[in-house]
Amino acid sequence: MPQRTAVKSAIGPLLREWRSRRRLSQLDLSIEADISARHLSFIETGRSRPSRELVLRLAQTLDVPMREQNQLLIAAGFAPEFGERSLDDPDLAPFSAGIDLVLSSHDPYPCLVVDRSWNLMRANRGVGVLLSQIPEDAPARLLYPPINVLRLSLHPLGLSSRIVNLSQWRAHVLGRLGREAATSNSAQLRDLFDELMEYPGGLDAESIEGVAIPLILRTDGGAELEFVSMVSTFGTAHDLTLAELSIETFLPANAQTADAMRQLVGEESPLSGESGR
């Protein structure tokens, strides 16, 4: 009688890594995903191959990002679940138009769209005011696409020279980026975090007061603009492009900033008259 050959699958180590990242035991995950701990153990050791439906159930239980869910499916021998298209794809036209509407409706206050790696996708005229404050001797790589907004804001020759509360803002930005890198297990985000940590400016989270961390920016004319930021995402997106987009809006924290932005956006800026496409 021929011997049974063990089923080998590359998904086991990946699944075990995600379970460890979420700090769940096999028993914990099996209970939450409604499978037996024995079956889960067999999947992780490569003795059993899960169905497509089970891979997705385990991934969703572990809160695995959509891009990494595709990787789990591929490792298990299945086609990816989530597609990825350009934001200019005709099928995404309604979403693209909606994004442009959000951007323009927030003028004169800065509003921008970034991908998962914090690369600038689109921006309104208010963002042009912020870009106009970047020193003229800023390295070219900071300003040519893809523009990484976190690198641009914290680089010593970028916007950081204008940030009054730099140590507080760095603590806020790097704290958020560190959490995103840990949650997504993205090598790009980890590399970006390591790079930004090397920049000067300090990390002062202890002196932060109030309910939100402001961005306080000193302009060429010496005025101070104070903003609080708000980040929005497409929570029900079934496409990687939309799921990985974030819209960040910088709202004026006081009347002086609101008045200044109304005046500054009326002047010539790098994005004047555009939505940042």
Judge residue 31's burial from the number of C-beta atoms within 10 Å of its C-beta, 0-12 exposed, 13-18 middle, 19 or more buried. Answer: middle
pLDDT tens digits, 73-132: 999 999 999 988 888 899 899 999 999 999 999 999 999 999 999 999 999 999 998 888
Q: What is the pLDDT of residue 207?
A: 57
Whole-number Cα distances in Å, 168 to 53, 126, 175, 263: 45, 23, 11, 27
CB atoms within 10 A of CB 209: 6
Q: What is the pLDDT of residue 227?
A: 96
Residue pair 214/165 in contact (Cβ under 8 Å)? The answer is yes
Q: What is the pLDDT of residue 209?
A: 58
- Range among 96-110, 136-150, 261-275 rated most confident: 96-110
pLDDT tens digits, 32-43: 999 999 999 999
* 220 vs 249, more confident: 249
User: What string of DSSP letters covers 76-101?
Assistant: TT---SS----TTSGGGHHHHHHHHH
Least confident residue range of 6-15, 35-44, 159-168: 6-15
Which residue is it, tokens 């975090």? 193
User: In angstroms, what is the C-alpha Rg of the chain?
Assistant: 23
Q: What is the pLDDT of residue 5?
A: 38
Predicted structure pTM score: 0.81
Mean pLDDT for the chain? Answer: 88
CA atoms in the 13 A half-sphere facing the CB of 98:
9
